[in-house]
Structure 1
Amino acid sequence: MSIKVPVIMYHSVGRNNPDWIWNHLITPVNVFEAQIKFLSKRVFNSINLQELYVYMKYNNKISDNPIVLTFDDGYLDNWVYAFPILKKYGMKGTIFVNPEFVDPIDKCRLNLDDVWNGKCEEKDLFSKGFLSWHEMRKMEESGIIDIQSHSMSHTWYFTGDEIVDFHHPGNDQFPWLFWNAHPERKSFYLNENQETFVPYGTPIYKNGRSLGIKRYFEDTGLSRHLTTFVKNQEDDFFTCKDWKNALFQQVNIYKSENKLNDRYETDEEQEERFRYELFKSKALLEDKLNKKIDFLCWAGGAFNNKALSIANEAGYLSSTLFYNDSERKNSFGDDPSEINRTGCVSEFNWHNNFISYTEPRYFMANIKYFCGDKIYLWVIRLYKIKYFAKFIIKKLLKRGEMR
């Protein structure tokens, strides 16, 4: 019987950051350590993607109770918290990095090892941001962390002429606007206000992730018209409840007086862009880390047939094509070029509302269910009922105290 190998997806491992649009991607340090400790006690053995690939392709012998731990995006806290905790419990992981986000700092920053060794206190640790090349090399040298590609940019682009919003003060829903305007500042976006990188009033069109779309180029004349209009308004323009209607009126005025000079990228332009994303990221990581890059994590899970073809041409052996696909268990006999992952389920949400952080047994139930043990679906449901009940009781008690 083929061994089924769960591949777990993490992102950030750190401290809660409620001001961040993607705060849900953070696994709290205590939750993460509890999960890793639980895996260690249950005698799970973490393997890397190369070991998974040769097992899936050739049925090579692998460790008992294998598991793959992956971390997307290359956050600084992977160095500060995740790496020392993995080392503490004898586990290893894979970090997927976008080179455009690498921090240019030429040193390794403090991490939990320094706290445990008495060199600093935990309050001295700074963890918001992205990894540096020095930190990646240090983790690679340890044999605990394997760095692989997450494509070059991890950005979004416009996909059509439908305007969905306009850039305005306090707008944190589209940070990629700032990345695209000033890519040299991408690695600092978690630590600086980049709102002014794009003029207020700039139209935001329907959009999608870079490697899954054909890019739409807007009429820059319309953008100038709108941003100039905003500049000429009073300072309180965006406090007026109908500011958005006023801008849509300006869109109609511009369109009535001008022929739009917009277009979609050509097939050749799309191919060139995809090659940059997939070839360049691989080459840069290989050069900076002096290693072979064989594995790709699609940013946001976005790809199309052209992107897949170019990834194959670039020489990636395998990529993260699936998420919670019940038909794929990362076993011998499955296509070794197709990795299926599941989430780290560090928190339980209900209709996008945070309910509770989870416990290791919930994490384990998710792993068992991913591997095909259907009974654990009911275990997961029971835990969700428990978390939801505790949430409701807490709300009711709080309401009673207010009375």
Structure 2
Amino acid sequence: MIYILIIIVLITIFIIFNKRAVPVFLYHQVNPISNVTPELFEEHLKIIKKYNIKTVTVSEYYNNIDKNSMLLTFDDGYYDNFKYVFPLLKKYNMKATIFLNTLYIMDKRENEPEIKDNNTVNLEAMKKYIESGSATINQYMSWEEIKEMYDSGLIDFQAHSHKHTAIFTGTKIEGLTKKDKMEPPELYLYRELENNYPVFAKRGEYSGKAKIVKREFFNIFKKFYQENIENKVTDKNEILKKCQEFIDKNTEYFSDESEAEYKKRIEEDFLENKRLIEKNVGNQVKFFCWPWGHRSKETIKVLKKIGVVGFISTKKGTNSMKPNWDMIRRIELRKYTPEKFKINLLVARNLILGKIYGWIS
């Protein structure tokens, strides 16, 4: 009897709260070598069409939308968004929002690139930035392409930070770098690919105040490691202990970012991100998507003072028709099969089931 009651309750919830939530899906790259291929993405669009769900941009969402609406969002601004995603959106007359990292965008495309994975793309861009101060790379869309997409009426472009970099958050050593496995945020912080630099905790640059490490310390540390530990100490815990002792004895190379420095850094990066988008696209930038999803209540206060009205997260779950604009939830699936997409879509457009999904996730 109790099982029948549970089933009745679930059916009632599904009926009453269905189509009363707004699912937001998150993508990055869509290309033949990514985990979402163009063919797979098209299957997603077919499912959306089958259920007569209306796709809207984040700006439209903010200004009130109809029931049975959803958002498709893309982070960073890779070239494949123009090459593969845009034609499919036009084919199905569906809308999307793309959150741009503006440091990497060139004015016009000179040649069509060979598509690469996002870590390779961003590592190449960061190497170029460190060497020359410019990080424009043809693996990202050009401003000319972005303007064409915006003028179609199908794509909204909003902020995702200018550089999409990282900060150190502490000086407790977590390991040692391996130059063949270093990622773009680490390269930005160390400025060169080297083995045996100390690995410290890091987060997205908008996540709070930074622990500042003078760059000369890294080579000082590496010299210490080579002379005192390498090929002499084999126990991992003992290696980390000795490294930490050395770090703790050299506090003059570390400092804490002040409140004023933190706010200035955040404001300058965001305002440059906003300026470039508005200059080249002609829209109004009012929404901010957290790099790596690393949120901060303090940063929300800072950005609200300079015009941001909505913050887009990577926190799973769904959103109401009148959502919490301090944290719009999104769904990104590791395996984006049509079946999983369909299940997540139907769950997330039901307000109660979507909220439960968010709590569980």
TM-score (normalizing by structure 2): 0.75
* 1:13–1:27 contact (8 Å) kept in structure 2: yes
* 1:243-300: CA deviation from partner (whole Å, max 9, x where unpaired): 99668646645755x5543111011111111112322211221112222112211222
In structure 1, C-alpha distance between the alignment counterparts of 2:251 and 2:114, rounded to whole Å: 54
Alignment of 1:81-160 (within 5 A): 81-100=84-103, 102-104=104-106, 106-107=108-109, 110=112, 126=115, 129-160=139-170
- Structure 1 range deviating more: 78-87 or 2-11: 2-11
In 2, distance between residues paired with 1:134 and 1:108? 11
In the alignment, is residue 274 of structure 1 matched against residue 252 of structure 2? Answer: no
Deviation digits for residues 35-83 of structure 1 (CA, Å, limit 9, x no counterpart): 112212332221112221111xxxxxx4563221111111222112111
Deviation digits for residues 298-322 of structure 1, max 9, x if unmatched?
2222232321112111212222157
1:79 — aligned with what?
A: 82
- 1:32 is matched with 41
In the TM superposition, residue 7 of structure 1 has moved relative to its aligned partner by 1.7
| Corresponding residue number in structure 2 for 1:4 | 21
Higher normalized strand content (fraction of residues): 1
Q: Secondary structure at the match of 1:9?
A: strand
Match of residue 175 from structure 1: 184
Matching of residues 51-70 of structure 1 within 5 Å? 51-55=60-64, 62-63=65-66, 65-70=68-73
SS of 2:59 mapped into structure 1 = helix
- CA distance in structure 2 between the aligned counterparts of 1:134 and 1:212, rounded to whole angstroms: 31
**Dislocated runs of 4+, deviation >4 Å:** 229-233, 240-248, 253-256, 373-378
Q: Match for residue 41 of structure 1?
A: 50
How far does the alpha carbon of each residue in 1:127-170 deviate from its partner, in whole angstroms, 9 at most, with x for none? Answer: 65322222211211222221110122222211111011222242
1:165 aligns with 2:175: yes
Amino acid at match of 1:364: K
Q: Distance in 2 between the 1:339 and 1:205 partners?
A: 28
Q: Does 1:367 align with 2:345?
A: yes
Determine if the alignment matches structure 1 residue 283 to structure 2 residue 275.
yes
CA distance in 2, matches of 1:176, 1:241: 29
Match of 1:192 in 2: none
1:341 is paired with a residue of what secondary structure?
Answer: coil
Residue 345 of structure 1 pairs with residue 324 of structure 2: no
Distance change in 2, residues 1:176/1:376 (3 Å): closer
Task: Choose between structure 1 and 2 for higher RCO, CA contacts under 8 A separated by at least 6 residues.
Answer: 2
1:95 Cα deviation from its structure 2 partner? 0.4
Question: What residue number does 1:120 align with?
Answer: none
User: Percent of counterpart pairs with the same letter?
Assistant: 24
**Counterpart code for 2:267:** R
Q: Give the letter aligned to residue 203 of structure 1.
A: P
Q: Give the counterpart of 1:224 among 219, 225, 229.
A: 219
